[in-house]
Amino acid sequence: MMALRDLSQQKILNAIKKKRGNKFGAKKRVYMGMKFDSGKELARWKDLRMLEAAGEITMLSRQDPFPLFACIMSPMVGGYARTITPEAVKVGDYVSDFCYQDRDGNLVVEDGKGLGKKAKGKKRFSTRTAIYNWKKRMMLICHSIQIKEV
């Protein structure tokens, strides 16, 4: 007869062994040796590659890291100015899905967002997590970049 302690340890080991899927139901894809987190992200990459080939966009890249800092806000006329000083503390990173320059030379940072998988008898849910929302605000504060959600 298995002791209660052994049974709980076995449950923990079984849980660790199980391969957990994406929390939003997305399936990873591989295309030309590149790994994508979802089919939607891969489809967007193909669209952007066509736009780049047509000359609509330039400098297309993916998975670019942006450091996020606790910025010092200094007062100025008409509001506050953001300054990153040597004392600024790095609080994390935002990794973009795609970055490119549009025809006007503006940097565009894209993040693929959509609705999560619909569970039986339940509504779909948003893939915009609290940490994503925080990083999106930090990108605007630290880098003055508005993330484009696709």
pTM over 0.85: no
Domain with 70, as residue range(s), is 58-149
In order, the DSSP letters of the chain are ---HHHHHHHHHHHHHHSPP--TT----EEETTEEESSHHHHHHHHHHHHHHHTTS-EEEEES-EEEEEEPEEEEETTEEEEE--TT-EEEEEEE-SEEEE-TTS-EEEEE---BPPPPTTS---B---HHHHHHHHHHHHHH--PPEE-
Flag whether 83 is in a domain. Answer: yes
Domain-located, residue 123: yes
pLDDT at residue 94 greater than cutoff 70:
yes
- In a domain, residue 21? The reply is no
In a domain, 22, yes or no: no
The whole-chain average pLDDT of the chain stands at 79
Residue 1 has pLDDT above 50, yes or no: no
Let me know if residue 133 belongs to a domain.
yes
Q: Is residue 105 part of a domain?
A: yes
Instruction: Assign 34 a pLDDT band (cuts: 50, 70, 90).
Output: confident
Q: Is the pLDDT of residue 84 over 60?
A: no
The structural domain count of the chain equals: 1
Q: pLDDT (tens digit, 9 = 90+) per residue, 113-124?
A: 866 555 556 665
